[in-house]
Amino acid sequence: MSQENMSPKYIKNYRGDKKMKEKIKNCLASTALSLILLCVLASIYEGRYLCINTVYQVFLANIILHLTLSLLARFESSYFLVEISVEFALFITIALIFAAIFDWYSSTPLWMLLFLCSLVFLIANIIDLYKMSNKLTYINKQLKDLRENQ
Amino acid sequence: MIVKLEEHKNQKEIEVLIKYARMSPLIKKLEKIIKSVDKTIKCTLDNSIVWVNASDIYYIEVVDKRTFVYGEKLVYETNYRLYQLLNELSDFGFVQISKSCILNIHYLDSIKPLINSRLQATLRNGEHIYVTRKYVSEIHKKLQGR
């Protein structure tokens, strides 16, 4: 069914569903990234396995993080560094709260937890920057094609 | 595409008729573009009321809780809120580019990243405005949907 045949209300719900799907995808991606980096760090320290509880805990932490980031989206600063610092502070805060709730400190030193969170944050932002760059290239190409067609 | 103009001296209102064999996105796009010429927003300029065509608006910005409508050379003020204008004008090529600004995509020339990680949009009249990173996806989707 093409969009031209849909009612405006349906299109609004359709776009809302698309946004929700994207949020879920981002949450799953950050969970996967967190778990992979956790496994890499664990193997360096001769860890052999990852508890299933850890997987659920990390997933839950990522859900809460993404929900909080959605609320934070309303916050806008003219300084990019301020925005990124606020996001990073939120990231670390949520990680520390979950570490306290689920007693991650008994198996993971604080410095390692902070290092892991920083790494996840850095990689996630690099991926974001790469996607942004691709979008900008597409946007500028489309705008150039529009100008040439006029 | 064949474009014909017919003069009818008794015609009271401009009538545009699009003949097509089958409905397609191009026909919808034409319809939107033609309707946008007629779409007007009530604004004020020097204490007088002015009806500004949506197709003449470059961008709309909110500053100090006041909404300003920017044309090619003139700046108007309107009592509408930004979200109301976005609802009215999103079908006519308007897209939100920051918390306080919506832009007519037809007047966007290019977007480039700056050294301080901000994004600068250049409009066709040479003006520069800033785009928040969070809204780049909106511009991307708007252009994809063209």
Structure tokens at B105: 């995509």
Work out the pLDDT band at B13, boundaries 50, 70, 90.
Answer: confident
In whole angstroms, give the CA distance from residue A125 to residue A141.
24
Question: Are residues A76 and B132, on separate chains, in Cβ contact within 8 Å?
Answer: yes
For the whole model, what pTM was predicted? 0.74
Neighbours of B32 (CB within 10 A): 14
In whole angstroms, give the CA distance from residue B76 to residue B59.
11
Q: Return the residue in B23, B101, B139, B146 with the most chain A beta carbons within 10 A, the one to mutate for interface testing.
A: B139
> CB-based contacts of B98: which residues, under 8 Å, 6+ apart?
A76, B130, B131, B132, B135
Mean pLDDT of B81-94: 91
Which residue type sits at B48?
S
Distance of CA B49 to the CA centre of its chain: 20
Q: What is the pLDDT along chain A (150 residues), one digit of tens a residue?
A: 444 445 555 555 666 677 788 889 989 999 999 999 989 888 888 877 788 999 999 999 999 999 998 887 777 676 778 888 888 999 999 999 999 999 888 888 889 889 999 999 999 989 988 999 999 999 999 998 887 766
Structure tokens at A38: 């956790």
Q: Return the residue in B22, B98, B110 with the most chain A beta carbons within 10 A, the one to mutate for interface testing.
A: B110
Residues 5-64 in A contacting B (C-alpha not used; CB under 8 Å): none
Mean pLDDT of B84-101: 91
pLDDT cut 70: percent of chain B above it: 99
Structure tokens at A62: 């990522």
Q: A81 in contact with B at a CB cutoff of 8 Å?
A: yes
Question: Are residues A73 and B134, on separate chains, in Cβ contact within 8 Å?
Answer: yes
Residue A133 with chain B: CB contacts under 8 Å: 113
Residue B106 phi, psi dihedral angles, 5° rounding:
-70, -20
Domain locations in chain B as residue ranges: 25-144
Question: Are residues B28 and A4, on separate chains, in Cβ contact within 8 Å?
Answer: yes
CATH code, residues B25-144 = 2.40.50.1020
**CB-CB contact of B92 with B81 (8 Å):** no
CA distances from B87 to B31, B96, B117 (A): 18, 11, 29
